[in-house]
Amino acid sequence: MLTPPSTASTSYISDNCLSSITDPTDFSHKSLQSIDTISRCPICKDFLNTPTVGECGHIYCSFCMLRTLAIERNCPVCKKKLSDHQLFTSATTEKIVNCWKNVRKTIIRGAEEECRRKRISDYIRKSKITNSLHTTHLNPKNRYTSCINGKNASKLKFAYLHAPESTPSPSDYDENLKFCIQQ
């Protein structure tokens, strides 16, 4: 059973806000690193394409292995002598790799959503600190807005600034609203 990493965060991705993961070590959980690594060809480092197993048990992309065997007749990992008639395709491995690629996309989408929520939460926290220094009461006529919370960024609150000369311009309003909508 997959358990969350031991850090305070439940993210399975080591760097916050990654939009794409290109290396297995980008995953913080060892199990995810392992499945990502074994789903890749040791020659091209991409996901296995038409997985081919040598008699030694190592798995490669079919094209990568045939190209390698044309140059040298050894397994690139263990250096055992191999020929093309000692290679076998593995439909099961191909299904596993395709399933992992789908699960991986779901994990990345979840991490991106977690990152989006964190950015909104950080923005709200910073806005509350800034607003608490300048806000005396609420006034719906004021056009300065900020996100209410990370769970529902479409809700906005109006804040009044203490000094009339410090009232934000419509462009300030648009920038803050744009942040809430884009995220």
The pLDDT tens digits of the residues spanning 21-31 come to 566 667 777 88
> Is 79 part of a structural domain of the chain?
yes
Last-in-domain residue among 68, 89, 110: 89
> Is 148 part of a structural domain of the chain?
yes
Same domain, 127 and 85: no
> Is 131 part of a structural domain of the chain?
yes
Same domain, 73 and 125: no
pTM above the 0.75 mark?
no
Average pLDDT over residues 136-154: 43
Tens of pLDDT, residues 67-83? 999 999 999 999 999 98
Same domain, 124 and 70: no
> Is 95 part of a structural domain of the chain?
no
Same domain, 124 and 164: yes
Helix (H, G, I), strand (E, B) or coil at 62: helix
| Integer Cα distance of 150 and 118 in angstroms | 7
Same domain, 129 and 81: no
What CA–CA distances, in Å, run from 35 to 98, 100, 124, 131, 166? 12, 8, 37, 47, 55
Average pLDDT over residues 95-102: 93
Q: How many CA atoms lie within 13 A of 132 on its CB side?
A: 6
Total domain count for the chain? 2
Tens of pLDDT, residues 43-69? 999 999 999 999 999 999 999 999 999
Helices of type H across the chain: 30-38, 62-71, 91-134, 170-182
Mean predicted lDDT score pLDDT of the chain:
70
Domain CATH for 43: 3.30.40.10
Pairing type for strands 88-89 and 145-147 reads: unpaired
One-letter amino acid at 11 equals S
> What pLDDT does residue 33 have?
85
> Is 143 part of a structural domain of the chain?
yes
The residue among 31, 84, 40 whose CA lies nearest residue 61 is 40
What CA–CA distances, in Å, run from 145 to 4, 93, 115, 158, 167? 37, 53, 22, 5, 11
Same domain, 125 and 84: no
> Is 108 part of a structural domain of the chain?
no
157's enclosing H/E stretch is strand 156-158
> Is 6 part of a structural domain of the chain?
no
Label residue 8 exposed, middle or buried (CB < 10 Å: 0-12, 13-18, 19+): exposed
Tens of pLDDT, residues 117-140? 888 888 787 777 666 555 544 444
> Is 11 part of a structural domain of the chain?
no
The domain containing residue 80 runs over which residues? 24-89
